[in-house]
Amino acid sequence: MDLIYTILVTLLTLAVLVAVHEYGHFWVARRCGVKVLRFCIGFGKPLWSRTDSHGTEWAVAAIPLGGYVKMLDEREAPVDSAEQHLAFNRKPVLQRIAVVAAGPLANFLLAIVAFWGLYLSGESGYVPVIGEVSANSVAEVAGLEPGQEIVAVDGQETPTWQALSFRLLDRIGDTGTISFAVKYPDSDVIYESEAVIERWLSEQEEPDLYGGLGISLYRPAVLPIAGEIVPEGPAERAGMESGDTVISADGIAMPLWSDWVNYVRARPGESISVEVERGLQRLVLNLTTDRVTENGESFGRVGMSVELPSMPPEMLRQFQRGPLESLGAGLQRTSDLVVFTLESIKKMIQGLISPKNLSGPITIAKVATASAESGLESYISFLALLSISLGVLNLLPIPVLDGGHLLYYTLELLAGRPVPEKIQALGYQVGMFLVLGIMMVALFNDFSRL
């Protein structure tokens, strides 16, 4: 059932992104007087199709990994003289540029609309207050202290965890200085400091932003309060119930959930005398852990989860924006992500970011499903991010991509004549090799993560 759900969410995500992208091409082509022969979601044999009054076939094909808009074009097939004025190749170069650019621009427009809706409905996030600072870390060198709120990084405001993460993501692979602006609780005094970084986190496959900085953000202490009790597990057999608080184990105090977990893991198959608090009562339960062996290592397990604490209300920061302010914020967010994507590609080419960060369809499927399970807002935000990535990648000047076509048409506009067909054909071969190579690396990374 989980697999079916993942497949359906992934197909929906890809269908929306491809449909928006191809409709951008289609809409502008129609307005430039180009005859569109087919609008297709997917590749291969059509599973469904219909033809409208303009002679355009609308289809859904069997292989859901993309889509295309097929236009009347003398380079692909002979065109009747009566329809030559409707052929794409006969249109002025500026119109051809507009048709090709419309697909990626439609993806950016989708992101702007998505962010506009999210900002209009209200935005919230946790205040980035430092919990701990590691010794000899970037944060310690910069003089950051527990309890301080990080209000800006490199002059860019960081009002929430998400904003802070985005600013730190932008510095991966960089060498130079990173600056911080912080303040103490209930104070308006801003303290500024900086530290030196060198190829920061460039070697990490999955960069730990906060760990690389040497901080952990404040979270309430996770107390050893039982959440879900696994049926017929050691905890249930011992009589433990959801909501019980573990006070001690074998007479040793258990102030935190991590203390209890570590104690249990170190005692596979052993008996533990557990003192728990249930309401106003104190009970002593005798519990024998299960022995679990994974990767040659044995550890104890009792079959219970933790009841996670809630963040204090004062740690939640909320933003309300009107329609115009939300639109401006959506435009800014989209612009920031476009620049960030381009910078990330540049750093990857320079070797400042590991190519193992490239992700393919398997990772997209996993993240799409996780975001959908987290709620509509999370899914829409992921859809907007993916739409921006699709738009940027399609604008790269690689033949076979929209950006490659735009490169050829721009050269034609400047030179006053088309790029020779032999050069175009060679470029398409090189472009296909690059695209397939990138896809293979992304798929390899996906399977490696599995």
pLDDT band at 329 (very low <50, low <70, confident <90, very high): very high
Q: Which helix (H) or strand (E) holds 432?
A: helix 421-449
pLDDT band at 356 (very low <50, low <70, confident <90, very high): confident
pLDDT band at 296 (very low <50, low <70, confident <90, very high): confident
pLDDT one-digit tens code per residue, 309-318: 888 998 999 9
Q: Has this prediction a pTM greater than 0.85?
A: no
Domain residue extents for the chain: 2-121+379-449, 126-220+314-319, 226-306
- What is the CA angle 375-208-3, rounded to 5? 40
Q: Which helix (H) or strand (E) holds 248?
A: strand 245-249
The pLDDT, as a whole number, for residue 294 is: 85
pLDDT one-digit tens code per residue, 377-417: 889 999 999 999 999 999 999 988 999 999 999 999 999 89
Residue appearing with tokens 């460039």: 202
Question: Domain 226-306 carries which CATH code?
Answer: 2.30.42.10
Rounded Cα–Cα distance for residues 210 and 133 (Å)? 10
Contact present, 11 and 369 (Cβ < 8 Å): no
Catalytically active residues, by annotation: 22
The pLDDT, as a whole number, for residue 32 is: 95
3-state secondary structure 332-363: HHHHHHHHHHHHHHHHHHHCCCCHHHCCCHHH
Please tell me the number of Cα atoms within 13 Å of 404 on its side-chain side.
Answer: 16
369 forms bridges with which residues in the sheet?
none
CA distances from 121 to 66, 124, 206, 241, 387 (A): 31, 10, 32, 39, 20
Contact present, 17 and 39 (Cβ < 8 Å): no
In CATH terms, are 126-220+314-319 and 226-306 the same topology?
A: yes
The pLDDT, as a whole number, for residue 57 is: 93
pLDDT band at 359 (very low <50, low <70, confident <90, very high): confident
Rounded Cα–Cα distance for residues 43 and 50 (Å)? 16
pLDDT one-digit tens code per residue, 213-270: 999 999 999 999 999 999 999 999 999 999 999 999 999 999 999 999 999 999 999 9
Closest C-alpha among 248, 94, 205 to residue 444: 205
pLDDT one-digit tens code per residue, 95-105: 999 999 999 99
Mean pLDDT, the chain, whole residue set: 90
Q: Please say whether the structural domain 126-220+314-319 has been given the CATH code 2.30.42.10.
A: yes
pLDDT band at 363 (very low <50, low <70, confident <90, very high): confident
Please say if the pLDDT value at position 154 is more than 70: yes
The pLDDT, as a whole number, for residue 450 is: 66
pLDDT one-digit tens code per residue, 6-53: 888 888 898 999 999 999 999 999 999 999 999 999 888 888 999 999
pLDDT band at 1 (very low <50, low <70, confident <90, very high): low
List phi, psi (to 5°) of 25.
-60, -45
Higher pLDDT, 337 or 358: 337
Q: Which residues of 254-328 form beta strands (DSSP E)?
A: 271-278, 281-288, 290-294, 297-301, 304-306, 316-319
- What is the CA angle 332-334-336, rounded to 5? 65
pLDDT one-digit tens code per residue, 206-215: 788 999 999 9
Task: Over range 111-133, report the average pLDDT.
Answer: 93
Contact present, 404 and 398 (Cβ < 8 Å): yes
